[in-house]
């Protein structure tokens, strides 16, 4: 039996790989292969209290070795029942956790090939910081600045180095290719997979990231991205139009001369027949708004609206407190 264990890193297309594996279950079965998912599997009641790789990583080395044997026993049972010869598991965080005792013992029992993807440091550090510190506040306390967090992020490369030095040829280190990560994973495993249907977890625009950061900064504990979605965007992702786009669409009327030129025959009719010039030189086009001044004025209005809303909430809270009666 053979196991391909995809272990990360984060922000290297793991979700796309997992989606392709899930969609390819029937295709994999025809290749005597199976995708076993993002969580460990164990025979019988073994590991019933270990529902995830992160929980598994918290066990001592001896317990990890015992759980590796239970993991292998489950795969062996599936091999006996269905003839499955190749198994694939994927969890982007595995390389970050202390799971080498588990993987090493598993490698004693079957052919194990771990796969990890690496991105160039500059784009990865930026992307990982946004994901781990801003979108998903994964640490307690204040959100660190980019400069404060980079040393920790660089540590992930160090963990990959440790795995590579420990496992040797048992770890395939691949360069992340954003054009088609699924095709590269298929090449690495020798398995035919259905391609990615769409890009998953595309990057949010900077304005939304700052709003999420503003929100997450209010929490002392770690805070996942769902809290922002539940509290701020319960009806779906923010899709606010841009002020410049709205100005261009609704307040910029500089195209009027083009429209008038297209109607010159009708304009000539009123001028010549009725003596009314609909396009006199004395009626110049109103200039478009000063966009910087417009933004400032809209900010004035938003502040006023916020104050009015704050007063409304204050009055509602007083009425609610009065309705509930005195406390204590």
Per-residue model confidence as pLDDT tens digits over 61-108: 999 999 999 999 999 999 999 999 999 999 999 999 999 999 999 999
Whether residue 185 is found in the same domain as residue 267: no
Q: Does any domain span residue 158?
A: yes
Residues 6 or more apart whose CB falls under 8 angstroms from that of 298 comprise 243
Whether residue 115 is found in the same domain as residue 143: yes
Whether residue 274 is found in the same domain as residue 145: no
Whether residue 147 is found in the same domain as residue 176: yes
Q: Does any domain span residue 299?
A: yes
- Which pLDDT value is given to residue 94? 95
Q: Which of 86, 124, 162 lies closest to 9 in space, CA to CA? A: 124
- Which pLDDT value is given to residue 273? 93
Band (147; pLDDT cuts 50, 70, 90): very high
- Which pLDDT value is given to residue 196? 63
Q: Choose the final residue of a domain: 156, 185, 203.
A: 203
Whether residue 179 is found in the same domain as residue 298: no
Whether residue 37 is found in the same domain as residue 160: yes
Report whether pLDDT(8) > 90: yes
Whether residue 198 is found in the same domain as residue 307: no
- Which pLDDT value is given to residue 97? 95
Residues 6 or more apart whose CB falls under 8 angstroms from that of 88 comprise 3, 4, 6, 21, 28, 33, 34, 35, 36, 189, 191
The CB-side HSE value for 30 (13 A sphere, CA atoms) comes to: 5
Band (286; pLDDT cuts 50, 70, 90): confident
Report whether pLDDT(234) > 60: yes
**Spatial distance between the Cα atoms of 139 and 137, rounded to a whole number of angstroms:** 6
What average pLDDT does the chain have? 91
Alpha helix stretches (DSSP H) within the chain: 14-23, 25-29, 53-57, 61-82, 100-109, 121-129, 146-167, 181-189, 206-216, 225-231, 243-246, 256-262, 264-274, 291-324
Q: Choose the final residue of a domain: 203, 228, 251.
A: 203
Q: Does any domain span residue 47?
A: yes
Band (325; pLDDT cuts 50, 70, 90): confident
Q: Tens digits of per-residue pLDDT, 18-69?
A: 999 999 999 999 999 999 999 999 999 888 899 999 999 999 999 999 999 9
- Which pLDDT value is given to residue 177? 82
- Which pLDDT value is given to residue 55? 96
Q: Does any domain span residue 181?
A: yes
Supply the CATH number for residue 30's domain: 3.40.50
- Which pLDDT value is given to residue 57? 97
Range of the domain at 8: 2-203
More reliable by pLDDT, 205 or 219: 219
**Spatial distance between the Cα atoms of 85 and 3, rounded to a whole number of angstroms:** 9
Q: Does any domain span residue 157?
A: yes
Q: Does any domain span residue 71?
A: yes
Band (240; pLDDT cuts 50, 70, 90): confident
**Spatial distance between the Cα atoms of 284 and 260, rounded to a whole number of angstroms:** 13
Per-residue pLDDT averaged across 153-178, rounded? 94
- Which pLDDT value is given to residue 109? 98
Task: State both tokens at 129.
Answer: 């910081």
Whether residue 179 is found in the same domain as residue 328: no
Report whether pLDDT(200) > 90: no
Using a cut of 0.75, tell me whether the model's pTM lies above it.
yes
- Which pLDDT value is given to residue 202? 54
Q: Look at the chain and count its residues.
A: 328
Q: Does any domain span residue 54?
A: yes
Per-residue pLDDT averaged across 199-203, rounded? 55
Whether residue 67 is found in the same domain as residue 115: yes
Whether residue 36 is found in the same domain as residue 99: yes
Q: What is the side-by-side strand order in the sheet with 86-90?
A: 33-37, 86-90, 2-8, 111-118, 171-175
Report whether pLDDT(225) > 70: yes
Whether residue 295 is found in the same domain as residue 254: no
Q: Which of 111, 74, 75, 85 lies closest to 30 in space, CA to CA? A: 85
Whether residue 108 is found in the same domain as residue 7: yes
How many domains, in total, are found in the chain? 3
Report the relative pairing of strands 111-118 and 171-175 from DSSP bridges: parallel
- Which pLDDT value is given to residue 178? 77
Per-residue pLDDT averaged across 146-150, rounded? 94
Q: Does any domain span residue 230?
A: no
């Amino acid at each position: 039996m053979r196991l391909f264990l995809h272990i990360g890193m984060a922000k290297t297309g793991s979700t796309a790989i997992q989606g392709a594996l899930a969609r390819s279950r029937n295709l994999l079965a025809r290749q005597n292969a199976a995708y076993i998912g993002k969580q460990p599997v164990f025979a019988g009641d073994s590991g019933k209290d270990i529902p995830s790789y992160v929980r598994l990583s918290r066990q001592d080395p001896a317990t990890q070795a015992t759980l590796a044997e239970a993991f292998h026993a489950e795969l062996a049972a599936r091999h006996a029942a269905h003839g499955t010869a190749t198994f694939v598991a994927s969890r982007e965080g595995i390389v970050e956790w202390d799971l080498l005792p588990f993987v090493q013992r598993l490698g004693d029992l079957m052919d194990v090939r771990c796969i990890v993807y690496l991105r160039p440091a500059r784009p990865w550090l930026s992307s990982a910081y946004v994901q781990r510190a801003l979108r998903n506040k994964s640490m307690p306390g204040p959100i660190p600045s980019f400069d404060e967090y980079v040393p920790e992020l660089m540590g992930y490369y160090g963990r990959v180095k440790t795995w590579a030095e420990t496992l040797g040829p048992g770890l395939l280190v691949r360069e992340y290719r954003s054009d088609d990560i699924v095709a590269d994973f298929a090449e690495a495993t020798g398995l035919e997979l259905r391609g990615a249907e769409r890009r998953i977890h595309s990057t949010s625009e900077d304005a939304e990231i700052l709003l999420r950061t503003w929100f997450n900064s209010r929490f002392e504990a770690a805070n996942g991205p769902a809290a922002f979605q539940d509290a701020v965007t319960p009806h779906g992702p923010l899709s606010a139009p841009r002020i410049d786009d709205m100005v261009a669409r609704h307040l910029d009327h500089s195209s009027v001369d083009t429209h008038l030129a297209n109607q010159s025959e009708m304009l000539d009719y009123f001028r010549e027949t009725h003596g009314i010039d609909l396009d006199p030189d004395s009626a110049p086009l109103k200039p478009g708004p000063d966009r910087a001044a417009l933004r400032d004025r809209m900010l004035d209005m938003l502040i006023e609206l916020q104050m009015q809303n704050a007063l409304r909430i204050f009055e509602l809270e007083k009425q609610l407190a009065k309705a509930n009666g005195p406390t204590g």
